[in-house]
Amino acid sequence: MSSSEVYTASTTAPVNIAVIKYWGKRDPKLNLPTNSSLSVTLAQSDLRTHTTASCSPSYPPQDSLLLNGSEQDVSGPRTQACFRELRALRKQLEDANPELPKLSSLPLKIVSENNFPTAAGLASSAAGFAALVRAIANLYELPSSPTDLSRIARQGSGSACRSLFGGYVGWEQGSAADGSDSVAFQVAPASHWPQMRALILVVSAAKKGVSSTTGMQTTVATSSLFPARANETVPRRMKEMISAIENRDFEAFGKLTMMDSNSFHATCLDTYPPIFYLNDVSRAAIKVVEAINKKAGRIVAAYTFDAGPNAVVYYLEEREKEVAGLFKAVLGEKDGWQGERGERVQRDAEGLEHIREEAGVALELLKEGVSRVILTGVGEGPIKTDQHLI
């Protein structure tokens, strides 16, 4: 191998938004969760991390990671665990086939870029670690399955394991102490139910209100309601959600999604000291979704909130006007309604008049508090690409 040779591989990886939430670790070191979870993988045309992994004998000896142009610390145990596990798998290949170049002993240089604004406050660690693990696996030409890689990505960021698959993805909590059975699995590919859409309402920084104390482990340690969620509520809902997805039953999917978001935030509030992610703008989004469903006479929109005030509203393509179109009428001009997809959404001015009384002050709160929207939908898992960032 010539000392100037550079090996390179690239991938993109998606964001996922859970409909059964991950909150609480039974093993913080290995990122083993207290309950299973389930998410929808979102389309990479709208939200993705693009990562190039490379290695070369000509590189400086330290591994490095550049994210959106800024150098990241790779010495933390989570990133190190991913590097170590992937190198070990490469080493097995090299030991079995002496003709392979000894990439496992070369320094890694990783370059990563997100196609969405950091200010959007979207959890980017899931896409980030999924892309990192997938890109290095490509570089090392590992035969590992997405399931195998999910076990590694999980150690970087728990929810990253679900971004190794497209469509509807579960994360089995597992029971083994070493985490070997705590992996992601595909419930259904995107093609099974491709009509699933997601409207993300990004709450402006100015409206974020009282900052939140974070820490899921504080919930595990102090919430007296948490065990009921982890041990009873979520196991039941996982089965119901898998069945809803298999049957393409949006009513069941939507109700479970909303209830599970509320259950998760309830255990945050039951934490001591309490953790708040929902603010008055979030509550306004809930109110408008409730008004939309009331008007429809059934569940056609479902909200969910991660660890922040941004709302994600799931709906089916056929209901676009009465869900996204109604939010468009409420919000008026905002970043995100431009472009082909955004312009195609028809403002539902009539629907707005219909819910105006019911929604009340929520309409003003939303208009003031939402800074931009992102229109997306269910999408594919990581995609290999020849567009290298190095």
Taking the least distance from each CB to its own copies, the nearer of 101 and 274 is: 274
CB 37 within 8 A of CB 171: yes
Least Å distance, CB 290 to its own copies, is 6
Least Å distance, CB 298 to its own copies, is 14
Taking the least distance from each CB to its own copies, the nearer of 73 and 357 is: 357
Least Å distance, CB 270 to its own copies, is 4
Taking the least distance from each CB to its own copies, the nearer of 104 and 219 is: 219
Distance CA(108)–CA(117), nearest Å, equals 26
Taking the least distance from each CB to its own copies, the nearer of 136 and 284 is: 284
Taking the least distance from each CB to its own copies, the nearer of 31 and 36 is: 36
> If we measure between CA atoms, which residue out of 217, 302, 309, 314 comes closest to residue 267?
217
Distance CA(154)–CA(151), nearest Å, equals 5
Distance of alpha carbon 248 from the chain centroid: 21
Taking the least distance from each CB to its own copies, the nearer of 96 and 210 is: 210
Least Å distance, CB 256 to its own copies, is 10
Least Å distance, CB 213 to its own copies, is 8
Q: Is 259 exposed, middle or buried (0-12, 13-18, 19+ CB in 10 A)?
A: middle
- Torsions phi, psi for 358 (to 5 deg): -55, -45
Taking the least distance from each CB to its own copies, the nearer of 164 and 302 is: 302
23: alpha, beta or left, given left = phi > 0 and alpha = psi -120 to 50? beta
* Binding footprint of its own copies on the chain (CB under 8 A): 209-211, 222-225, 227-229, 232-233, 255, 258-259, 262-263, 265-267, 269-274, 276, 279-280, 283-284, 286-287, 290, 360-362, 365
Least Å distance, CB 221 to its own copies, is 13
Nearest-5° angle of CA 376, CA 47, CA 326?
25
Token pair belonging to 236:
């039941």
Distance CA(389)–CA(37), nearest Å, equals 33
Distance CA(294)–CA(305), nearest Å, equals 21
Least Å distance, CB 219 to its own copies, is 11
3-class DSSP state of 22: coil
Taking the least distance from each CB to its own copies, the nearer of 84 and 239 is: 239
Return the bridge partners of 383, or none.
12
Q: In what order do the strands lie in the sheet with 168-171?
A: 16-20, 37-41, 168-171, 184-188
Return the bridge partners of 7, or none.
55
Return the bridge partners of 304, or none.
312
CB 355 within 8 A of CB 291: yes
Taking the least distance from each CB to its own copies, the nearer of 192 and 367 is: 367
Taking the least distance from each CB to its own copies, the nearer of 165 and 226 is: 226
Least Å distance, CB 38 to its own copies, is 17
For strands 64-67 and 108-114, give the pairing. Answer: parallel
CB 204 within 8 A of CB 327: no
Least Å distance, CB 222 to its own copies, is 8
Least Å distance, CB 125 to its own copies, is 25
Query: What DSSP letter does each residue of 152-173 carry, written as one string?
Result: HHHHH-GGGGGGGS-SEEEE--
